[in-house]
Amino acid sequence: MSFSPANIFYLGVKELWGLLRDPIMLVLIAYSFSISIYVQATGTPETLEKASLAIIDEDLSPLTRQISMAFYPPYFLPPYAESMKGADTGMDRGIYTFSIDFPPNLQRDLLNGRNPSIQLNVDATRMSQAFTGGGYIQTIINNEVSSFLKRYTSQTTLPISLAMRARFNPNLIQAWFSSVVAVINSVTMLSLILTGAALIREREHGTIEHLLVMPITPFEIMVAKIWSMGLVVLAACMFSLLFIVQLAMQVPVAGSVPLFLAGTALNLFACTSLGIFLATFAKTMPQFALLIMLVLLPLQMLSGGMTPRESMPAFVQDIMLAAPTTHFVMLAQGILYRGAGLEGVWPQFLALAIIGSIFFTIALQQFSKRIGSMA
């Protein structure tokens, strides 16, 4: 296939000038790689925070008072002493997320060697707090009961203890994980939108007809859009990683940033080709936006960035191997979290190169067909 590097360069520069004259796109790029990254990483509390709790104390013993005093901020709001009816009404109205019912004679039964039960009611509509709060409450009650029993009974120490060490994120800080996932999602979203919008903008402004009468080929037009829009997203990704993730949020990067950017460039090659392919089916920006919604959500949610791939159905795992974001997530996590080198992520580099070549070939065929029908 014959092509002119000069044509590709100048057409790409034309795309960059066109982007500079589009303030909405510029605001979207700036927001997606700055404020959006910070908000997504820090907006969700890392642990249980200020959960409302009602306590129904039917025992009124030193043990139940000790347990009640163990619930304090920032994990829980100060517990409310309620009756059974008041606690049920409060949960029905969404006032309380948790309610604990201490049965009568709890302390006496415990000291006599019986196994009394404590009832915990959870408002499961508050998913994040319900999931983590139940474990927090169980741990607190177990610790307080254990310390209470030490005063009255002998404590047997188990011969084995578990020493847990969390690798790559020793303090289990959610922002370390969420910030990188947000960068990956922004790269995927902007690469699809910018290239597709560039093609539709040509059609809406009527400049695509001007290109058809010039001595340029569909290959040159498509490559120009890919390198120019890909360069913008790559520069924004580098800025976000260096200044938002590392500098502003103090998230450590274990591996090589240039190696990560090289993998990002391969992912951009595939995603920008996919964006042009989608734009060939859409006649207007609203139609293109609907197509983006259908494609973007599976690429982000099923790629392994938000949920481990191992927890997904087997057929979903197999299908998503054809998506570039699946390999990009593995590559990014390997480099940025675990400090992997090229010897550890070369399969993902190879997969991205193959998937990108396939997407590019299909998009070029469809784009050439559309251009030919307009000529």
**DSSP one-letter string for 79-117:** PEE--HHHHHHHHHTTS-SEEEEEPTTHHHHHHTT----
Compute the distance between CA of residue 12 and CA of residue 373 in angstroms, rounded to an integer: 24
> Residues 325-369: pLDDT tens digits?
999 999 999 999 888 999 999 999 999 999 999 999 999 998 888
* Predicted model pTM: 0.77
Is 162 in a helix, a strand, or coil? coil
Same domain, residue pair 285 and 362: yes
Domain residues for the domain of 195 are 5-43+173-374
Which tokens sit at 135? Answer: 């474990």
Q: Is 183 within 8 Å of 263 (Cβ atoms)?
A: no
Same domain, residue pair 145 and 193: no
Same domain, residue pair 349 and 206: yes
Q: Is residue 165 a part of any domain in this protein?
A: no
What pLDDT score does 285 carry?
87
Other CB atoms closer than 10 Å to residue 258's CB: what's the count? 10
Same domain, residue pair 85 and 193: no
Q: Is 65 within 8 Å of 145 (Cβ atoms)?
A: no
Same domain, residue pair 86 and 227: no
- On the question of pLDDT at 46 being above 80, the answer is no
Compute the distance between CA of residue 278 and CA of residue 290 in angstroms, rounded to an integer: 10
Out of 134, 149, 164, a domain closes at 149
Q: Is residue 155 a part of any domain in this protein?
A: no
> Residues 18-41: pLDDT tens digits?
889 889 999 999 999 999 999 888
Structural domain total, the chain: 2
What pLDDT score does 237 carry?
95
